[in-house]
Amino acid sequence: MEIKILDSRPSWFNRFMSELRDKDIQKDSMRFRENLRRIGQIFAYEISKQLAYGPKMVTTPLGEKNMQVPVEDPVIASILRAGLPLHEGVLSFFDRAENAFISAYRKHDETGAFRIKMDYVSCPDLQDKTLILCDPMLATGSSMDVCYHGLLDYGTPAHTHLVSVIAAQEGLDYLQKHLPYENCTLWVGSVDEELTAQSYIVPGLGDAGDLAFGCKLQN
């Protein structure tokens, strides 16, 4: 599986990433969501370079121009709830895309260990389409793995682009072992080396869902 890391070269992308991580700027949840949307747009632009294009003659007020335009629209899938702002950014670029939504969470047992449980999926037909699966934080890789394989019930995509803003190296290693090598590309904003005992990324940025939408009630 090919892995593309966007902050490997300095760009304005790093400005948005630094604001996402900054604990003082994080106090503004609207700006946090907006930065996720902006990052989603940048990911979408980079992914667009990998898609299929074909010729189309376009008539202008003064003549005609033969242009290369997309031959298909992707399906954008997101893992709720943290994935929503990132999804919106990708969708604002691929504005004719179909959409899928996955409800998944960490189900802990009495020992503190957890497994990823999918509760609900809303998805169009994926057979032979381009799938973009978004999840802002890639920690252990389990969520992305479970959700990817769950989506295969709706068809086998021709190619899948996995999008995460921040990933742990452990999560990258896990996905390389468990996901297809040939027809998957993983797009990551930045890679952090450490996971806590609770499988949170360090330095990371905290809980993306809480920062975007407010703290959830703990059971």
> Quick one: 21 exposed, middle or buried, by C-beta within 10 A (0-12, 13-18, 19+)?
middle
pLDDT for 104 equals 76
Q: What is the pLDDT of residues 181-199, one digit of tens each?
A: 789 999 999 999 998 877 8
For residue 107, the model assigns a pLDDT of 64
**Which pLDDT score is estimated for 114?**
61
Q: Which residues of the chain have pLDDT under 70?
A: 105-116, 217-219
pTM of the model: 0.91
pLDDT of the residue at 113: 62
The token duo for 112 is 């503190």
pLDDT of 188 reads 98
Of 204, 176, 154, 186, the C-alpha closest to 43 is 186
H or E element, residue 166:
strand 159-168
DSSP summary character for residue 179: S
* C-alpha torsion 148→201→117→35, nearest 10: -70
- Boundaries of every domain in the chain: 2-213
pLDDT for the residue numbered 14? 96
Q: Provide the CATH topology of domain 2-213.
A: Rossmann fold (3.40.50)
Q: Specify the pLDDT at position 108.
A: 55
- Beta-carbon contacts of 89 under 8 Å, excluding residues fewer than 6 positions away, are 36, 37, 38, 39, 40, 41, 42, 43, 44
CA distances from 7 to 2, 17, 84, 173, 184 (A): 16, 9, 22, 19, 20
Model pLDDT, residue 217: 65
Using alpha carbons only, give the angle 33, 140, 188 rounded to the nearest 5 degrees. 50
